[in-house]
Amino acid sequence: MSYYLSFFLLFFSLIFGFYGVLYYFMMKSLFLEWEIFSFFGSSVIVLFLFDWKSLFFSSIVLLISSMVLLYSYMYMLGDSNFSRFIMLVYLFVLSMLLLIFSPNLVSILLGWDGLGLVSYCLVIYYQNIKSANAGMLTILSNRIGDVFILLSISWLLNFGSWNIFYLQFIGNFFELKLVLLMVVLAAMTKSAQIPFSAWLPAAMAAPTPVSSLVHSSTLVTAGVYLLIRFNYLLGYSSLLFLISSLTMLMSGFGANFEFDLKKIIALSTLSQLGVMILSISLGLVDFAFFHLITHALFKSLLFLCAGAFIHEYNEIQDIRFLSGIFNIYPICSMFFMGCSMSLCGFPFMSGFYSKDLIIEMFWMFNMNMLMFLIIFFGTLFTMSYSLRLIFYIYLKFNSFGKSMNFHGESFKMFLPMSILFISSLFSGSFMSWVFIPVVSIMLSFFWKLFLMVGLLFMSLILLSIILSLNLQNNKFLSFYKFNYFSGMMWFLPILSTSFFMGFLKLGEKLIKNFDHSWVEIFSGQGAFLFLKNSGSLVDLFYKIYFKNYIIIFLYIVFIIYLFY
């Protein structure tokens, strides 16, 4: 079943990719509209939009999904609930496609809510305490975005249409900004921007194929894709620019002090989401879509490589205990280092075409020194945690890894990783030549020299400092506290959980003292008992006794005689 669904998705991926390129050159879009019913002047319709962005993005989603299904067969071999896992992944892909092709907020909500529900089921797949806590944090964070989408739908009911292209014709500027604010907040929850960032690293409790598909290329990019669709209303946003910059800085800084391999890659995903929303806030929508595509390909492969390492190391995820991987997994190690270099923007890799383009365009804008330093260090941390990860896995000797028993590389896991590596290797140059318009970037000689030499040397210096702090944190308590603060994402997980415990206890007291007592007596059970007793009195008159029937008949005859 995994193979059949994988090839089925791969077939449609090729078709959508072909039509995406074709529609781009033909400058063509296809609308399919079906009106279900009309409600007080508001038409409830099913609307699908097929343009080059939706078709090409759906092609990438289907490609990654097909490769993940192929990979999952070997990774989850022997799992008793493998069929349930495949069905959940398939439902997730269908929800994502519904979100991609829908320019209508009602149908967007169906895909949006479907993503949140299925992702919760995938996060709690292993059914332990860690998965339960991570799943609850994930679904509650995403429900905030669902509430904002529902509020925007209810507000747009006043104007007779839920089509997102209709919003530009709303005359009231305040109401337009209000709807846009709710959509932006919903996108921030899905894309894990500050202060909703805690759920993404916690969701790494899911199986690694789920992390590759859900938490790198589909679920977290749904908010970015929604903002791309609303870009003509958003324009330039200083607030969104500040939030995305802080998210980029916080996640990159925290990844340098994390030892869990999957959480490092998750924080890296969070950093790149900050880059995408940073580009949208500056009005560079096509560049954000460009980076969304390239990042989805190499980050999903990065998760698959990490899953192969974890699978053969008996589920060990601590990078301090991973060593000797290159001798055992030479091809997967090559893929892993290639994706890490692409993440850093190594020349002629896919990240070089998309990420560096966004950063260089930002440096052509007018900016103050504070925002420049935030973006600069956020970019610098990407290189430092990538080099730190390579150091711990490939360069740092550890005798623990030498004593493990390994099975070697499996062809069934190697084949999907190879296809994703080839796709991620050429996607940057292909999209740069085909879709992205030619831009002229003019920087001074100082900036060019600073970009080429300064970033590398400063990242090496920063890496040496971080490594020294990591190696000495057991000896010096101050380093340990600093490491703990950095790895805790500025205490966002605590704020997202413990901060709301008082409200949950208050809700428990309200339910106990009102809903289960006074409110129940005067509304639910009380009303039922009153109607039950009243109904029993009425039933007395419906008992068919001959004597009662004769008496009622005589009464009726007597009343008729009196009035006539």
pLDDT digits (tens, 9 = 90+) for 275-331: 899 888 888 888 888 889 888 888 888 888 888 888 777 777 878 777 777 777 788
In the chain, how many H helices and how many E strands? 27, 2
Mean pLDDT of the chain: 79
Q: Which of 56-70, 346-360, 456-470 has the lowest mean pLDDT?
A: 456-470
Q: Which of 9-13, 35-39, 176-180 has the lowest mean pLDDT?
A: 35-39
Per-residue pLDDT band for 399 (boundaries 50, 70, 90) equals very low
Cβ–Cβ under 8 Å, residues 240 and 167:
no
Dihedral over Cα of 522, 523, 525, 527: its sign: positive
Provide the 10 A C-beta neighbour count for residue 214: 27
Residue 258: left (phi > 0), alpha (psi -120 to 50), or beta?
beta
Token representation of residue 530: 């009153």
Q: Which of 80-89, 288-297, 449-458, 473-482 has the lowest mean pLDDT?
A: 473-482
This prediction's pTM: 0.82
Give the pLDDT of residue 87.
87
Whole-angstrom distance, CA of residue 180 vs CA of residue 185: 9
Give the pLDDT of residue 543.
57
Work out the average pLDDT over 136-162. Answer: 83
Residue 464: left (phi > 0), alpha (psi -120 to 50), or beta?
alpha
Dihedral over Cα of 400, 406, 408, 413: its sign: negative
Q: What angle do CA 361, 362, 363 make, to 5 degrees?
A: 90
Cβ–Cβ under 8 Å, residues 161 and 42:
yes
Whole-angstrom distance, CA of residue 31 vs CA of residue 397: 58
Whole-angstrom distance, CA of residue 141 vs CA of residue 194: 12
Give the pLDDT of residue 548.
67
> DSSP labels for 255-297?
HTT--BHHHHHHHHHHHHHHHHHHHHHTT-HHHHHHHHHHHHH
Q: Which of 92-101, 252-261, 488-497 has the lowest mean pLDDT?
A: 488-497
Residue 52 pLDDT exceeds 50: yes
Distance of CA 42 to the CA centre of its chain: 31
At residue 343, what are phi and psi to the nearest 5 degrees?
Answer: -65, -35
Give the pLDDT of residue 500.
66
Token representation of residue 305: 């490589």
Give the pLDDT of residue 511.
77
Q: Of 184, 188, 173, 95, give the one whose Cα is nearest residue 141.
A: 188
Residue 39 pLDDT exceeds 70: no
Residue 224 pLDDT exceeds 70: yes
Work out the average pLDDT over 470-497. Answer: 62
Percent of the chain predicted with pLDDT > 70: 81
Give the pLDDT of residue 463.
64
Give the pLDDT of residue 403.
43
At residue 344, what are phi and psi to the nearest 5 degrees?
Answer: -80, -10
Residue 222 pLDDT exceeds 70: yes
Cβ–Cβ under 8 Å, residues 313 and 391:
no
Residue 212 pLDDT exceeds 60: yes
Give the pLDDT of residue 357.
83
Whole-number Cα distances in Å, 86 to 62, 73, 142, 381 = 14, 9, 23, 36
pLDDT tens across 420-469, in order? 888 888 888 888 888 877 777 777 777 666 666 666 666 666 666 666 55
Please name the residues in contact with 437: beta carbons below 8 A apart, sequence gap of 6 or more.
Answer: 286
Percent of the chain predicted with pLDDT > 90: 0
